[in-house]
């Protein structure tokens, strides 16, 4: 099966026009990411960013965990829903982006609420104080299963876990045999049978798995 574009440009444009506007500080990060990064498509972007902000506002989390910071766009979207006095811990291993991303965070209204960690999430997550109300996993896909287990252990009952890129350009429903597609498809099947969580996949951009800890 040929890879498919889950949302073509026409539909994406319509969806962006019918949701809340992209805040100015996120437009700035969006623009700089596309100018300076070789893989800017890793950015959540306007529509998915509004989804993350919306879900965060519904949960009103006191503690958020994000695995995979990239340029900090999704981090700031998630921070929009923080309860008063809440905090977000975001983890990435890209040292080259650290200075720029810290600058984005420090210039935001959540500068004192964001804890930006550089290092291996497998090592760092167990060291963080839980429980978390909301978790967003958007890092190296081969370790998603491990990140999920760590996140589930650290989440409160009723907490929400989001995993990005679970449709993998539609290849998970085709006959693609590359290792990464097979890994993602296998995890999707595993999560679908996991009775510790309520779950569903939203076919937004590259697919977002929503899981609620029972």
CATH code (residue 167): 3.40.50.150
How does pLDDT run across 193-209, given as a tens digit for each residue? 999 999 999 998 889 99
Distance CA 144, CA 31 (A): 28
**Does residue 187 lie in a domain region?**
yes
How does pLDDT run across 31-56, given as a tens digit for each residue? 999 999 999 989 999 999 999 999 99
**Does residue 65 lie in a domain region?**
yes
Strands (E), the chain: 63-67, 87-92, 114-118, 132-137, 155-164, 197-202, 208-213
Largest CA distance in the chain: 48
For the segment 163-179, the average pLDDT, to the nearest whole number, is 89
Average per-residue pLDDT for the chain:
94
Give 20-24's long-range contacts (Cβ < 8 A, gap of 24+).
20/50, 20/53, 22/46, 22/49, 22/50
**Does residue 1 lie in a domain region?**
no
Q: Which of 28-42, 133-147, 173-187, 199-213 is least confident?
A: 173-187
**Does residue 1 register a pLDDT over 60?**
no
Residues 101/72, Cβ–Cβ less than 8 Å: yes
Looking at the DSSP bridge assignments, the partners of residue 155 are 132
**Does residue 3 lie in a domain region?**
no
pLDDT on residue 169: 85
pLDDT on residue 196: 98
pLDDT on residue 167: 93
**Does residue 2 lie in a domain region?**
no
**Does residue 208 lie in a domain region?**
yes
Q: Which of 5-9, 57-61, 81-85 is least confident?
A: 5-9
For the segment 76-90, the average pLDDT, to the nearest whole number, is 98
Q: Domain total for the chain?
A: 1
**Does residue 82 lie in a domain region?**
yes
Q: Which domain holds residue 58?
A: 9-213
**Does residue 147 lie in a domain region?**
yes
**Does residue 4 register a pLDDT over 80?**
no
Give which of 163, 158, 166 is closest to 198, Cα–Cα: 158
pLDDT on residue 6: 58
Q: Which of 60-69, 127-136, 138-147, 172-181 is least confident?
A: 172-181
């Amino acid at each position: 099966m040929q890879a498919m574009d889950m949302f073509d440009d026409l539909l994406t444009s319509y969806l962006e026009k019918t949701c809340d506007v992209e805040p100015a500080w996120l437009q700035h990060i969006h623009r700089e990411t596309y100018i300076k990064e070789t893989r800017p498509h890793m950015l959540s972007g306007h529509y998915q960013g509004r989804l993350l902000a919306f879900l965060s506002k519904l949960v009103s989390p006191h503690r958020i965990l994000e695995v995979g910071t990239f340029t900090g766009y999704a981090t700031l979207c998630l921070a929009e829903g923080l309860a008063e006095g809440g905090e977000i811990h975001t983890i990435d291993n890209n040292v080259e982006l650290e200075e720029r991303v810290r600058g984005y965070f420090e210039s935001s209204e959540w500068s004192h609420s964001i804890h930006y960690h550089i290092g291996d999430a497998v090592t760092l997550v167990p060291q963080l104080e839980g429980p978390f109300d909301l978790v967003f996993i958007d890092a190296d896909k081969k370790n998603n299963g491990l990140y999920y287990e760590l996140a589930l252990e650290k989440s409160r009952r009723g907490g929400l876990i989001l995993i990005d890129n679970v449709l993998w350009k539609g290849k998970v429903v085709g006959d693609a045999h590359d290792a990464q597609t097979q890994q993602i498809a296998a995890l999707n099947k595993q999560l679908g049978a996991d009775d510790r969580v309520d779950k569903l996949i939203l076919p937004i951009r590259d697919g977002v798995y929503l899981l609620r800890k029972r």
